[in-house]
Amino acid sequence: MNTFGFLKVAVASPNVIVGDVQANAQSIAQVLEQLRKEQVQIAVFPELCLTGYTCGDLFQQQVLLEEARKALDTLAGQTKGMMVYVGLPMRGANGALYNCAALLNGDKNNIRIYAKTFLPNYSEFYEARWFTPYHGEPGLFPGYREGGLVQTDILPEAVVGCELCEDLWVPASPSLRQTLQGATVVVNLSAGNEVIGKADYRRELVRMTSAKQVCCYLYASAGMGESTQDTVYSGHSLIAENGIILAEKKPFDPTRTYITTEIDLQRIQHERMRMVTFTQGDTPLPFHFETAEVEKIKNNTLTRAVAGHPFVPTDQQERSRRAKEITEMQAWGLARRIAHTKVPQVVVGISGGLDSTLALLVSCQAFDLLGKDRKDIIGITMPGFGTTGRTYENAKALVKECGATLVEIPIRDAATQHLKDLNHALDVYDITYENAQARERTQVLFDYANMHQAIVVGTGDLSELALGWCTYNGDHMSNYGVNASIPKTLVRYLVRYFAEEAFAGNPTLVNVLHDIIETPVSPELLPPDKNGQIAQKTENSIGSYLLHDFILYYVLRYGFRPSKIYFLAKTAMAQGTLEVFNDQVLKETMRTFYRRFFGQQFKRSCMPDGVKVGTVCLSPRGDWRMPSDASAALWLREVDQC
């Protein structure tokens, strides 16, 4: 897993007995033994965990301070191959007392000390009574190495910074400078108490800090063993990665001492590379990393969840919220284009398939937003050589139940004449046979739009654009493409959202939509089978859209290499979040994706306008600029080596 940029991390909140350093060190050692078995490489414990955070004036007792330093040296010997952060009070060379974090990495000669910068001294906090804020004084802790950024020896992308509790809550956190200096991981040893609403605020603060600073943030908080004389502590601990909570130990959870997951440093690297503003600061910052030895993970079992359908949320409520948000963006984009062009009507080609269905439903929403009559939405169905009774009837019923105007213009005769003009046999079902129909349909749509001062609403989706599964200057073209950044797996769900929520009050329409959802994806350009059923099924030709969308997401969103995408796909299958495909199918689908993605760029270079609704888009005017003659050889070679 380290090869792919993953690092196994943990945050722990073991039982603490206030003032009993030996017992606390033993608890930490027991947790470390468990974490080692789980091959954890970075472990973070709470603030002042060797003594307890709520010691009060006991912090000024010599025996407590000396025992804490002895325990630190002892624990260090149990951390070979791991980076372990623990908290303790330490006297500085100037005689002042500091609230410190210690990084342990193999032996007592390797201990690095970090001191807390910002000391809370308000409400229930009195840290300034005992501790002194750290201002970067050199040589403050003789016999120990100074803190700073630490880079793991096995994973150069993993550069770790450190701050303590309140440091996170202030406007200019130490971690802000650390991440600008190259830290990709920030650990926080904390002892935040609980009051009403604080857990939610803390969760959002950690999550958004990881997002703003484009880093992984490991937050370990003091647990229920702390004194409850005036405050209560819950052990609420979090691991976040670039705005996503990967793992959480809920407040007051007595069943868990620690949480673990894998963080993905290649994701962080990609985001910082993509966001060119990340490094646009006014003052150049120095880059200097110490090195820590970390053992490699010996197996390739990933415990963090891998979304098998990355474009579609797994939670039902989140899916509904996301679907509403997406369709509103689509509708508002189209409404703005209609208002700007001042056209009285729009034209949508209706096939009875998923994409054209979504385009029509979005058009209805746009007209509702504008207060326009849906009868000015012209749904044109154009039966051809491959049209089946099922899709034909669904297309007509869909337009009727939406309150739009249905126009039927068969293209069989026009396509037949065109093929005869080309001296093309009518029983040769090649690419010319298919594209003649696709371009005829597009000609009909544009010419009808010209006649009625309308614009053509495009139906093609993101997955088709990525694979070039569209006819150049055929269904590839429109005046405005509402589905241009919607992948096929999401199209299917959005149509289901309309059926089950947005348009649920029309049972006839709901039945039509459900049947469209169950209809195989097909351009219907080849004749039906002997039973009148769809013979040309897209996924039989190019592979499953489930796999293509999975690959598409990680290629475009994070720039991952084929071997890592292969690894993630196998992991998602093992976790049950992605349907199981055998190895041969997975690799062949990956080959198909890369061959088509590179070879079909010329279609994307001149794609029509369309609203962007997600983080992944292929518009040449927005997210994706690529030469049409780039080679896929490097990517295909790596697929073959998987």
Angle at 172 between CA 170 and CA 173, to 5 degrees: 70
- Of 229, 226, 255, the C-alpha closest to 24 is 226
Q: Characterise 524 by phi-psi region: left (phi > 0), alpha (psi -120 to 50), beta (else).
A: left
315 within 8 A of 554, measured Cβ to Cβ: no
- Report the Cα–Cα distance between both ends of the chain, in Å, rounded: 14
393-397 LR contacts (CB < 8 Å, sep 24+) = 393/352, 394/352, 394/512, 394/515, 394/516, 394/519, 395/350, 395/351, 395/352, 395/356, 397/508, 397/509, 397/512
Q: What are phi and psi of 43, to 5 degrees?
A: -130, 135
Dihedral (CA of 351, 357, 359, 365) sign: positive
- DSSP element (H, E) containing 43: strand 42-44
- CA–CA distance from 542 to each of 309, 350, 488, 510, 586 (Å)? 18, 23, 13, 30, 12
Give the CA dihedral 600, 606, 609, 611, nearest 10 degrees: 30
Interhelix angle 316-341/354-370, rounded to 10 degrees, is: 60
Burial class of residue 124 in the structure, from the number of CB atoms within 10 Å of its CB (0-12 exposed, 13-18 middle, 19+ buried): exposed
Question: Sheet of 377-381: strands edge to edge?
Answer: 405-408, 377-381, 345-349, 454-458, 480-481
Query: DSSP character for 608?
Result: P
Catalytic positions are 47, 116, 165
For strand 237-241 and strand 244-249, is the pairing parallel, antiparallel, or unpaired? Answer: antiparallel
What backbone torsions phi and psi does residue 10 show, to the nearest 5 degrees? -145, 150
Residue 599, classified by CB atoms within 10 Å of its CB into exposed (0-12), middle (13-18) or buried (19+), is middle
